[in-house]
Structure 1
Amino acid sequence: MVTVDGWVAAFLDRIEDGHEELTRLDRLAGDGDFGDNLRRAATGARHAMIAGAGGFAALVTAFRATGGTSGPLFGLWFRAFARQVSDPVQAGDVAEAARRGLDAIVSAAGAAVGDNTMVDAMAPAVLSFDSGGDLDASLRRAARESAAGAESTRELLGRRGRSSYVGEHARGVVDPGALAVAWFFSAAVPE
């Protein structure tokens, strides 16, 4: 059974384990600080959870305090989850949170599918949700679709974010923000 704190803890573990990969990708297509920024946010979220904050609320606080553009954008994403999703986790609540989070990011950043950003992983996950369906099946679909969306960024030319500054040099590189979104959904999938 998926719980909010279990999902968040698994996501934080994945960031810790993969922060070097995120940094490597960001060095190829951005300014190279993404992995370190996410690791710092993960550490902050762990401290907030130890202090008693719920998992999604801890992510909001930690990511808003993180540098770069992605920190505040992830803060918007997680704010939707903090407002909508609680235990027991329901597919409909996750679907609504993901949709609201995506809408907030699109509104704030102006990014769209195909721009080579985190939106390329978020949007397919949102579309994959069966809001009235089985939670585990919905999360598995969201994990699969967000991973495919992240992989699709490998062939995109950046039109938003740091990758837009390096042009063709970023082609062939998975967007690290999109990859982090895929990790978020995969962290919720029971092994």
Structure 2
Amino acid sequence: MTGRTLTAEHALAWTGRFTEAVRRGGEELTELDRRAGDGDFGTNMRFALRRVADLLDGGAPDSAAGVFTALSEGFLQTGGTSGPLFGMWFREFAKGSAGGEVTTAVLARAAAAAVATVQRLGGAEVGHKTMVDAMAPAVEALRAEADRDAEVAEALSRAAAAAREGAESTRHLVAVRGRASYVGEHARGVVDPGALTVALFFEAAPEPDA
């Protein structure tokens, strides 16, 4: 992914790397959720991505929007609270990238709409120890990269770094939203698994040699 647009092929490869990252990190995600929630997060994420793989195996999409649609549908069919929120997040990526070239500016607008939807549905803000703590910095990074007309791979690399920093920031927070809010101080010192999943998603975006 070195050009100015995100193609279907790039989006499929991105999804494949994201799936592998969640597969490898599934036990960590589950353990984080066990310490701050009910312990089913990693299982739910892997189930969602198996559904995504089944959908993509049924016919490779011819656009990035089609790939994001498969991600949305896979996560919307997942249990728990986070699965449907991720499903709606990916739905906004699909809507925002439909009907034209998917540039950095398009991705920035789609990501902004996506996090706004998650915040509207979940009621979370930055600092609440949720996935929003990684989503919002990624959006700001994409906007900054769009403003300077950066190529897609570079912009997504910056978004990945911002998402990772945001995810790590949740380690020192007491949750206000989500199941972690039920355990209060016991979740301090634990990275939010939803925020970590957002970081894994963006980190999977650039091509290995980009």
Instruction: State the TM-score, normalized to the length of structure 1.
Output: 0.96
- Spell out, residue by residue over 1:136-171, the C-alpha distance to the aligned partner (whole angstroms, 9 max, x if none): 221111000000000000000000001100000000
User: How many pairs are equivalent?
Assistant: 191
Amino acid at match of 2:125: A
Matched, 1:182 2:191: no
Cα distance in 2 between the residues matched to 1:4 and 1:136: 11
Q: What is the RMSD of the two structures over their aligned residues, measured on CA atoms? A: 1.3
Contact 1:4–1:89 at 8 Å: present in 2 too? Answer: no
Contact 1:37–1:68 at 8 Å: present in 2 too? Answer: yes
Unaligned runs of 5+ in 1: none
Counterpart of 2:182 (choices 165, 168, 176) is 165
* TM alignment of 1:5-84, pairs within 5 A: 5-52=12-59, 54-84=66-96
Equivalence for 1:136: 153
Counterpart of 2:139 (choices 113, 117, 126) is 126
Amino acid at match of 1:107: R
Equivalence for 2:112: 99
Aligned-pair identity (%) = 50
Equivalence for 1:146: 163
Cα distance in 1 between the residues matched to 2:57 and 2:102: 21
Instruction: State the TM-score, normalized to the length of structure 2.
Output: 0.87
Amino acid at match of 2:167: A
| Structure 1 counterpart SS, 2:177 | coil
Cα distance in 1 between the residues matched to 2:16 and 2:102: 15
Contact 1:115–1:156 at 8 Å: present in 2 too? Answer: yes
Amino acid at match of 1:75: G
Amino acid at match of 2:42: G
Cα distance in 1 between the residues matched to 2:67 and 2:179: 29
Cα distance in 1 between the residues matched to 2:127 and 2:165: 13
Whichever of the two has the greater Rg, that structure is 2
Contact 1:143–1:186 at 8 Å: present in 2 too? Answer: yes
Amino acid at match of 2:129: N
1:190 deviates by: 2.4
Unaligned runs of 5+ in 2: none
